[in-house]
Amino acid sequence: MNGPAANGAPAIAVEGLECRYGGTTVLRDVSFTVSAGELFFVIGGSGCGKTTLLRHLVGLAAPAAGTVRYFGEDFTAAGRAERRRLLRTFGVLYQSAALWSSMTVAENVALPLELYTPLSRRERQEIVALKLAQVGLAGCEEYFPAELSGGMRKRAGLARALALDPRIVFFDEPSAGLDPVTSRQLDELILQIRATLGTTMVIVSHELASIYALADRVILIDRGARGIVAEGRPRDLAAASPDPRVREFLTREAEKA
Amino acid sequence: MRAVPTPAHAEAVLEGDRLAVTLGGAWQLTQPAPAWSRLRGAARPRVVELRPGQLDRWDSSLVRFVHEVERWCREAGVQCETGALPEPVRRLAAQLAAGRQARGPAAPPGNILTTIGLAATGVWRQTREFASFVGECTLSAAGVLLRPRRFRWGDCLAEMQQCGAMAVPIVSLTSFLVGLTLAYTGAIILRQFGGDIWVADIVGLSMFREMGAVMTGIVVAGRTGAAFAAQLGNMKTGEEIDALETLGIPPVDFLVLPRLLALTLMMPLLAMYANGLGILGGMVVASGILNIPASAYWVEMQSIIDLSDISSGVIKSVTFGVLVAVAGCLRGLQCERSAAGVGRAATSAVVTGILLIIVADAVFAVLFHVLGL
């Protein structure tokens, strides 16, 4: 969990990834690396393929070409058993939290623990309590997802993503549908979890406030270029990127203000 | 490539009245971890000290272990020293301890009287909802009669195809087999009296008066009633119904009425078709097994069936169509906003539909008897 990878490989290494959706190529020749413990943002306008890239990274869609490696291990070419093991190195928080609606919050968080750990029922309950306390939902075990507010649902989804203490967590538009205050609280939570557990975080977003507050490094994806047009620290890019598209995206708020 | 870390381990050494526990290795949830109950054995120390040894990676399993030790110490009145552990571990263990004290929502009391009371008010509420929904549909239908151009005829035609034409294969199969079964069962008795030919009367009468309408009703309840509930339930979950309401379009006008009309028109057609197939099934048995010529079968059946038999079947099938459509749409609109809710709505639509069909069929049996139909 904490500490660098044993073999010193980057947490995520993507090489020459090509993503197709239906018959059309959405992204081509995407390459980047994310080091362990980094807060990495994938940014870009609506419909540029951010979510498609995320789906390819977590294995929900198969890439047309290229490789994805987690801590040096090839995820794209992995066999069934190897793939299942690698899937446990990361957790995903979906845009709509994707909590299983027929289960309580506690059951949602406990399911991965039940399937993949040797813990007893009582021990699982303790881990569930810890995860919920970590995301600020202590005592909400017995609620059903439908009884929670949008922000609480996101937190519960995060607790489930963290259940197995993954080394990487993916976020798909974490602040979508949240008010600015709740959204900022979620940002703080992300920082706090990184500080305690050293988790690598990959966040797909177009929320400028979160990008500036959290990101160590960003890649900007552009719809026209069908790939990465910029990579670096958000403030550096906003100030000194030679590409006007990049400056425009990152300073949109500033210009308005 | 994969580096295999040393598994989690803990050593307990008793130094006087002080139990020193050294934690080492990689603590991971997916791997077995040392158990505190076995580790402490029968020792009764005054102080327990947790300290890190060759501690590799750690995750929540270490936090849980520390929490368990702390709790045991508190309960046994033993002093617990965790100061040497990494700061995040101590902080998370404190969070866990605080989280365990918080309470969730109180479960409803399990009193039997409360349960009966809740069930009774539930039945009353359901009856009221059903009645008011029927009322809404009636008002909406009256509105359509006044302004027929506002009715969504396109949707209605599409639904007719879905619930009528597309149901023909399954209705054919069930009704043919029902006619076949009726003929076989009738033949068992009639043969003993040499009255084989009356198989035609049994099959014809029971198809026209009962089985055609009831079997089609049950098939349609399972097929179309469930589909209505699932469609509307999904629309409710996706806030599509709310979007209609806020645009000032009553969901009953827009969604329920086209479906209601489509099924009400299609049901009698399906039932008449089912009657034909059932009679055909009986004819196959009669000519194949009982050696009755098809023409004799046909003439005998015509001698017993009159218009009142046919019309009673049609009246029933129209009623069943209305009941199935109302049950399906009502359950869909009552759906809870979740995937599980949509499933429950579909199940409930089928159960309600079939229940209403059986009850209505009994009511018709009494009614037709009294009226002498």
User: What is the Cα–Cα distance from B316 to B314, expressed in whole angstroms?
Assistant: 5
Q: Chain A residues with CB inside 8 Å of B5's CB?
A: 6
The residues, any chain, with a CB within 8 Å of residue A237's CB and separated by 6 or more, are: A218, A220, A230, A246, A247, A250
In angstroms, the Cα distances linking B36 to B39, B47, B73 are 5, 15, 11
A133-178: pLDDT as tens digits: 888 888 888 999 888 988 899 999 999 999 998 999 999 988 888 8
Span B95-109, average pLDDT: 65
What's residue A256's pLDDT?
46
CA distance B322 to chain A (A): 32
Amino acid at residue number A76: T
Tokens found for residue B276: 């034909």
How much is the pLDDT for A180? Answer: 87
Q: How far apart are CA B91 and CA A196, in angstroms?
A: 9
Residue of chain A whose Cα is closest to the Cα of B89: A196
Q: How far from chain centre, in Å, is Cα B237?
A: 15
Does B236 have pLDDT greater than 50?
Answer: yes
Interface list for A 138-177 with B (CB within 8 A): 138-146, 164-165
What residues in chain B have their Cβ under 8 A from chain A's Cβ atoms?
1-3, 5, 28-32, 56-61, 63-64, 67-68, 86, 88, 91-92, 95-96, 98-100, 102-105, 107, 336-341
CA–CA distance, B148 with A5 (Å, rounded to integer): 71
Nearest to A3 among B57, B63, B100 (CB): B57
pLDDT in tens, B133-192: 999 999 999 988 898 888 888 889 999 999 999 999 999 999 999 999 999 999 999 989
- In percent, the amount of chain B with pLDDT more than 90 equals 55
Measured in degrees and rounded to the nearest 5, phi and psi for residue B15 equal -115, 95
Q: Between β-strands A65-70 and A12-21, what pairing exists: parallel, antiparallel or unpaired?
A: antiparallel
Alpha carbon of residue B247 to chain centroid: 30
**What's the token pair of residue A40?**
């990495």
Nearest to A72 among B1, B105, B337 (CB): B1
Residues of B in contact with A134 (CB under 8 A): 92, 95
- Helical (H) or strand (E) element with A67: strand A65-70
Q: Which residues of A touch B104 (CB under 8 A)?
A: 139-143
Residue type, A142: E
CB contact under 8 A, A1 and B57: yes
Q: What percent of chain A has pLDDT over 70?
A: 95
> Tell me, what's the pLDDT at B3?
56
- CB-CB neighbors (< 8 A) of A126 in chain B: 64, 67-68, 96, 100
Cβ <8 Å between B32 and A118: yes
Segment of A62-66, A101-105, B28-32, B173-177 carrying the highest mean pLDDT: B173-177
Confidence bin at A2 (pLDDT 50/70/90) = very low
Q: What is the DSSP letter of A54?
A: H
Domain locations along chain B? 9-98, 150-371
Quote the pLDDT of residue A5. Answer: 45
Residues in Cβ contact with A4 at an 8 Å cutoff, skipping those fewer than 6 apart: A36, A37
Q: Which of residues 183-202 of A touch B (CB under 8 A)?
A: 195-197
Cβ contacts (< 8 Å) between B102 and chain A: which residues? 138-139
Can you tell me the mean pLDDT for B74-97? 86
The whole-number pLDDT of residue B101 equals: 65
Q: Under a CB-based contact definition with an 8 Å cutoff, are residues B2 and A73 in contact?
A: yes
Q: Residue A251 and residue A239: Cα distance in Å, rounded?
A: 9
Interior CA angle at B127 toward B125 and B130, to 5°?
110
Q: Is the pLDDT of residue A244 over 90?
A: no
* Domains, in order of start, for chain A: 37-51+89-256 (3.40.50.300)
Domain B9-98 is in which class?
A: alpha beta
Q: Are A242 and A65 in contact (CB under 8 A)?
A: no
**What would the pLDDT profile of A49-73 be if each residue is shown by its tens digit?**
888 899 899 988 889 999 999 999 9
- B91/A116 Cβ within 8 A: no
Alpha-carbon distance B124 to nearest alpha carbon in chain A (angstroms): 25
Query: Which chain A residue has the Cα nearest residue B4?
Result: A6
* pLDDT of B107 over the 90 cut: no
Q: Is the pLDDT of residue A39 over 60?
A: yes
Query: Is the CB of residue A211 less than 8 Å away from at least one CB of chain B?
Result: no
Query: Residue B232: CB partners within 8 Å, gap ≥ 6?
Result: B241, B255, B328, B329, B332, B333, B335, B345
Give pLDDT tens digits for B44-67: 888 888 888 888 888 888 888 998
State the residue for tokens 């390459």: A31
User: Chain B within 8 Å of A8 (Cβ-Cβ)?
Assistant: no
CA distance linking residue A190 with residue A201, whole number of Å: 8
Residue A257: predicted pLDDT = 40
Is residue A81 a contact partner of residue A243, using CB atoms and an 8 Å limit?
no
Q: Is the pLDDT of residue B43 over 80?
A: no
